[in-house]
Amino acid sequence: MLVSAKEMLQKAVAGHYAVGQFNINNLEWTKTILLTAEECKSPVILGVSSGAGKYMSGFKTVAAMVGAMVDDLGITVPVATHLDHGSYDACLQCIDAGFTSIMFDGSKYPIEENVAKTKELIAICKEKGMSLEAEVGAIGGEEDGVIGQGECADPKECKMIADLGVDMLAAGIGNIHGKYPANWAGLSFETLDAIQQLTGDMPLVLHGGTGIPDDMIRKAIDLGVAKINVNTECQIAFSAAVRKYFEAGKDLEGKGFDPRKVLKPGCEAIAETVKTKMELFGSVGKA
Ligand SMILES: [Zn+2]
């Protein structure tokens, strides 16, 4: 069932669990994540970056594929199609394409312009029954080991953006995209607590979920995180499984060259990763 992310995240806040956003790259990823969510009876958010959207030939193709797949596979759990880190233009394109949710990443704009554009997009989303995620500050993305601690958002700025009427709020609490460096200082629970104190029931979003220790994830959920983005972890699991297939020479056995056979171990690895995350986030059985 295709829906916005609003209701599923409000339920998650109330029930003290989090809904996973799993980014998709192609048909196989989408199908695998949808089937796993259905098996786990878990709500799910399919994240689509602008790059992945372009790779799949455009946001319209993505929206049409997800819609048809939900139908063809008989998916009954709540599914949101969500633009990840969208520019203003990408947000408009996804609204037009039939996505059910968008993230506006206005971190490159001065705060006044960020607020003005956010307000404009909120008005359109409300009218269309879509949900909107805003980001306060910027979430780091370096993998070079130089960054020991990701940026922390200003709780007052979080409150200001939350009050604009967004449905979920991404705030930096020391988290970063991609693999975490060995000297990472961990999540800043003081920052998260201060943000939650000011924003109340607003579902908070944790980006860069790959490599954050499980106990930190659980504590973050206790403190109001209701959406956790997972991307890199599925990519690593997929690639490792496909590599094993080739290393074992399975593509040379019988009709092992069939792309459906080649990609199968990768899809199984994604399913395993997604299931483990849903269990950790507490969303299993909540749909
Ligand atoms: Zn992100």
Q: What is the pLDDT along the chain (287 residues), one digit of tens a residue?
A: 999 999 999 999 999 999 999 999 999 999 999 999 999 999 999 999 999 999 999 999 999 999 999 999 999 999 999 999 999 999 999 999 999 999 999 878 888 898 999 999 999 999 999 999 998 877 766 544 445 567 888 999 999 999 999 999 998 898 988 878 888 888 999 999 999 999 999 999 999 888 899 999 999 999 999 999 999 999 999 999 999 999 999 999 999 999 999 999 999 999 999 999 999 999 999 99
The burial of 85, by beta-carbon neighbours within 10 Å (0-12 exposed, 13-18 middle, 19 or more buried), is given as buried
CA of 139 from ligand 1 middle (Å) equals 7
The SS3 of residue 282 is coil
Active site residue 214: no
CA of 73 from ligand 1 middle (Å) equals 28
* 6-281: CATH, from 3.30.360.10, 3.40.50.720, 3.90.380.10, 3.20.20.70: 3.20.20.70
Predicted model pTM? 0.95
CA of 77 from ligand 1 middle (Å) equals 24
CA of 209 from ligand 1 middle (Å) equals 9
CA of 211 from ligand 1 middle (Å) equals 14
**Ramachandran area for residue 254 (φ above 0: left; ψ -120 to 50: alpha; else beta):** left
Encoded amino acid at 229, one letter: N
CA 23 – CA 226 distance, rounded (Å):
17
CA of 152 from ligand 1 middle (Å) equals 14
**Residue-wise pLDDT tens digits, 82-124:** 999 999 999 999 999 999 999 999 878 888 898 999 999 999 9
Question: Of the candidates 193, 118, 127, 98, which has an alpha carbon nearest to the alpha carbon of residue 155?
Answer: 193
CA of 36 from ligand 1 middle (Å) equals 22
The residue annotated as part of the active site, out of 84, 214, 222, 251, is 84
Taking the domains of the chain in order of start, what are their residue ranges? Answer: 6-281
Token pair 């949808």 is at which residue? 34
| Angle separating helix axes 27-40 and 259-281, nearest 10 degrees | 40
Strand partners, 102: 83, 132
